[in-house]
A and B are shown apart, each in its own frame.
Chain A
Amino acid sequence: MIENKRVLLLSGHYGSGKTNIAVNLAMDLKKKYPNIAIADLDIVNPYFRTKDSEAELKTAGIRLICSDYANSNVDIPALPQDLYAITDDRSLRAVIDVGGDDRGALALGRIAPALREENNYEMLMVINCYRPLTRDAESTLEVMREIECACGIPFTGVINNSNLGIETTAEDVLASVPYAKAVADLSGLPLVMTSVTAILAEQLKGQIPDLFPMNLYVESAIR
């Protein structure tokens, strides 16, 4: 269902896995649509960025919209000027990696009026019950409300990305299903998919609906 919308916004608690899902969604969309952009709106965290995947995105022919200062040693909360391409050029399909939490989502407010006016977007909350501040539906909803207040766009769906990093097992994902359902129920929003690594997707086939298999583009090389 989310594919029908021109702009996909991914938000959530920082460290929930937004950036990796955003890159995977963009790669997926590129298979169906010619004109795809991915935008990194994170003005808070200068460490893990969409720009880490610059080479892969370039190879795939996906336009990367991000601050010139991302991943540089310059700690400046800057927004890219070509961000406006997303609202101005309606032939473009875009995945927007919104910054973590309410502070990160604040920057989205700049283009929120245009997005609301066009009304052709999905605003997706990425959730992970293994993160300490979003362990249950209540605390997750609290983060959702803070983000909505900061950026001025209400959520339209939930993505369950519950994981324990490289140690994640199929059992961990299965154990997160009731949590994801509780978040969906409490917020009144649909659970649009459960994102897992391609290996886990194979193991979980048939056990969880709407699995989204991912490659890990943003990952620490240090074990």
Chain B
Amino acid sequence: MAEKVLMKGNEAIAEAALHAGCRHYFGYPITPQTEIAAYMAKRMPKIGGTFLQAESEIAAINMVYGVASAGYRVMTSSSSPGISLKGEGLSYLAGADLPALVVNVQRGGPGLGGIQPSQSDYFQATRGGGHGDYHMIVLAPASVQEMAELTIKGFELADTYRMTSMILADGTMGQMMEPVALDLEVKPAPAKPWATNGTKLQREHNIVNSLSLVPDELEQLNFARYERYRTVEENVVMYEEYMMEDADICIAAFGIAARVSKNAINEARRQGIKVGMIRPITLWPFPKEVFRRAADHVKTFISVELSMGQMIEDVRLATECRAPVLLCNRVGGMIPSPEQVLETIQNVVKNGGAN
């Protein structure tokens, strides 16, 4: 087995980014993701990289735009309110088809909210986050090991599809410490013939831009982009199924909610209740097909979320409302307990929802 180190989720993201060849980080401190910036500040100067604490989140995302244009792997990280500030930049990255990695270690909202964990930026992440028609690849880790692995995956997917990858974590994932194996494989970055890295008098100059004033040309750009998104939907979907073979009840949960739910499922199984879980790892593209198939035998779905019910809409769409989808949630920085999830499962059985 590979040698392990004990890391915080935030540190694992930072270290994995360095493994992936990211040498440019631009950020601004905000709890509960500050350790990413702190780690980068310590490590980047030692390996010839750039750490820069920008004057604001908006400045940081635009610096990301600049480095991405030049063809280098680049990232920024923040937490909920800071991601809102980056919204304009995210849209510009999409409009210019630039690959980048953005990390959101979510905290309770809306507004300035709190500093404790949350998953209430699901809509913002999976629907784009800024203005215009676009998507980001949204990855939802459920362990410190996955924080590292999905960071590398995020860079690779961003390069392959010329999109922004977002790591959608939460305060717990960022702060918790677990052993991590860091001998992770990294695919080298593909050639980027579109990058604005100097013509060397060998080619015409490249232009990276999100401005397009001719309507039918802008329409074509949107069509082409969505053609690419369809490829992503076909090739990139990731999820974990847990005890789903014979499940009458299916829990849908990602990130920290999935870890809590697993405990509840294990206890419910001991009590003879046939319950399983589908854990989306990509939130966009959402694993529609596995939910659609599950609806063939599942009588009731339960969406466990640290929000007022956001992913629940995607579960309903994916299952085409063939079975009821209930919500089990806590918000504002609170986390559902395994007992709360278990009680929700038991109530479904009591009310005949497992038959």
> A101's closest neighbor in chain B, by CB?
B38
Q: Is the CB of A163 within 8 A of B6?
A: yes
Count the A-B residue pairs with Cβ separation under 8 angstroms: how many?
61
- Contact string against A for B residues 16-49, beta-carbon threshold 8 Å, 1 for contact and 0 otherwise: 0000000000000001100100110011000000
Q: Is the CB of A132 within 8 A of B259?
A: no
* Smallest beta-carbon distance B43→chain A, Å: 8
- Scan residues 164-197 of chain B and give those whose CB is less than 8 A from a CB of chain A: 171-172, 175-179, 182
Q: Is the CB of B6 within 8 A of A223?
A: no
Looking at the complex, which one of B176, B182, B333 makes contact with A73 (CB distance below 8 Å)?
B333
Verify if A133 is at the interface (C-beta below 8 Å from B). yes
Verify if B5 is at the interface (C-beta below 8 Å from A). yes
Looking at the complex, which one of B6, B35, B116, B259 makes contact with A130 (CB distance below 8 Å)?
B6
Given A164-B179, A222-B259, A132 and B5 contact (CB-CB distance below 8 Å) = yes
Q: Is the CB of B333 within 8 A of A223?
A: no
Looking at the complex, which one of A15, A46, A75, A222 makes contact with B6 (CB distance below 8 Å)?
A15
Q: Is the CB of B42 within 8 A of A133?
A: yes
Given A47-B171, A73-B115, A220-B176, A164 and B6 contact (CB-CB distance below 8 Å) = yes
* Smallest beta-carbon distance A159→chain B, Å: 16
Q: Is the CB of B260 within 8 A of A130?
A: no
* Smallest beta-carbon distance B169→chain A, Å: 14
Q: Is the CB of A165 within 8 A of B6?
A: yes
Residue in A14, A101, A165 with the greatest tally of chain B CB atoms within 10 Å: A165
Q: Is the CB of B4 within 8 A of A167?
A: yes
Report how far A223 CA is from B261 CA in the complex, Å: 11
> B14's closest neighbor in chain A, by CB?
A132
- Size bracket of the B interface: 20 to 34
- Contact string against B for A residues 94-126, beta-carbon threshold 8 Å, 1 for contact and 0 otherwise: 000000010100000000000000000000000
Q: Is the CB of A222 within 8 A of B176?
A: yes
Report how far A192 CA is from B250 CA in the complex, Å: 52
Verify if A217 is at the interface (C-beta below 8 Å from B). no
Chain B residues within 8 Å of A15, by CB: 6-8, 11, 177
- Contact string against A for B residues 83-114, beta-carbon threshold 8 Å, 1 for contact and 0 otherwise: 00000000000000000000000001000001
Chain A residues within 8 Å of B32, by CB: 46-47
* Smallest beta-carbon distance A174→chain B, Å: 15
* Smallest beta-carbon distance B252→chain A, Å: 18
Chain B residues within 8 Å of A131, by CB: 5-7
Given A15-B8, A164-B4, A222 and B178 contact (CB-CB distance below 8 Å) = no
- A-side interface residues, number (CB < 8 Å): 22
Given A131-B5, A222-B256, A75 and B177 contact (CB-CB distance below 8 Å) = no
Verify if A30 is at the interface (C-beta below 8 Å from B). no
* Smallest beta-carbon distance A78→chain B, Å: 14
Verify if A48 is at the interface (C-beta below 8 Å from B). yes
Report how far A48 CA is from B179 CA in the complex, Å: 18
* Smallest beta-carbon distance B160→chain A, Å: 28
- Scan residues 62-90 of chain A and give those whose CB is less than 8 A from a CB of chain B: 73, 75
Q: Is the CB of B175 within 8 A of A48?
A: yes
> A130's closest neighbor in chain B, by CB?
B6
- Contact string against B for A residues 151-182, beta-carbon threshold 8 Å, 1 for contact and 0 otherwise: 00000000000011101000000000000000
Q: Is the CB of B31 within 8 A of A165?
A: no
Report how far A171 CA is from B42 CA in the complex, Å: 30
Chain A residues within 8 Å of B206, by CB: none
Verify if B156 is at the interface (C-beta below 8 Å from A). no
Verify if A6 is at the interface (C-beta below 8 Å from B). no
> B176's closest neighbor in chain A, by CB?
A220
Chain A residues within 8 Å of B171, by CB: 47
Verify if A195 is at the interface (C-beta below 8 Å from B). no
Q: Is the CB of A132 within 8 A of B115?
A: no
Residue in A46, A103, A128 with the greatest tally of chain B CB atoms within 10 Å: A46
* Smallest beta-carbon distance A16→chain B, Å: 9
* Smallest beta-carbon distance A1→chain B, Å: 28
Report how far A222 CA is from B260 CA in the complex, Å: 7
Given A222-B176, A222-B256, A75 and B115 contact (CB-CB distance below 8 Å) = yes
Report how far A164 CA is from B179 CA in the complex, Å: 6
Residue in A15, A101, A135 with the greatest tally of chain B CB atoms within 10 Å: A15
Looking at the complex, which one of A73, A130, A222 makes contact with B114 (CB distance below 8 Å)?
A73
Chain B residues within 8 Å of A101, by CB: 38
Report how far A46 CA is from B6 CA in the complex, Å: 20
Q: Is the CB of A75 within 8 A of B5?
A: no
Verify if B15 is at the interface (C-beta below 8 Å from A). yes
Residues of A near any B CB (own CB < 8 A): 14-15, 46-48, 73, 75, 101, 103, 128, 130-133, 135, 163-165, 167, 220, 222-223
Residues of B near any A CB (own CB < 8 A): 4-8, 11, 15, 31-32, 35, 38-39, 42-43, 108, 114-116, 171-172, 175-179, 182, 256, 259-260, 262-263, 333
A to B CB contacts below 8 Å, 22 in the list: A47-B32, A47-B171, A47-B175, A48-B175, A73-B114, A73-B333, A75-B31, A101-B38, A130-B4, A130-B5, A130-B179, A131-B7, A132-B7, A132-B15, A133-B39, A165-B178, A165-B179, A222-B176, A222-B256, A222-B259, A223-B262, A223-B263
Ranked nearest first, the 3 interchain pairs of A and B with the lowest CB-CB distance are A73-B114, A164-B179, A47-B175
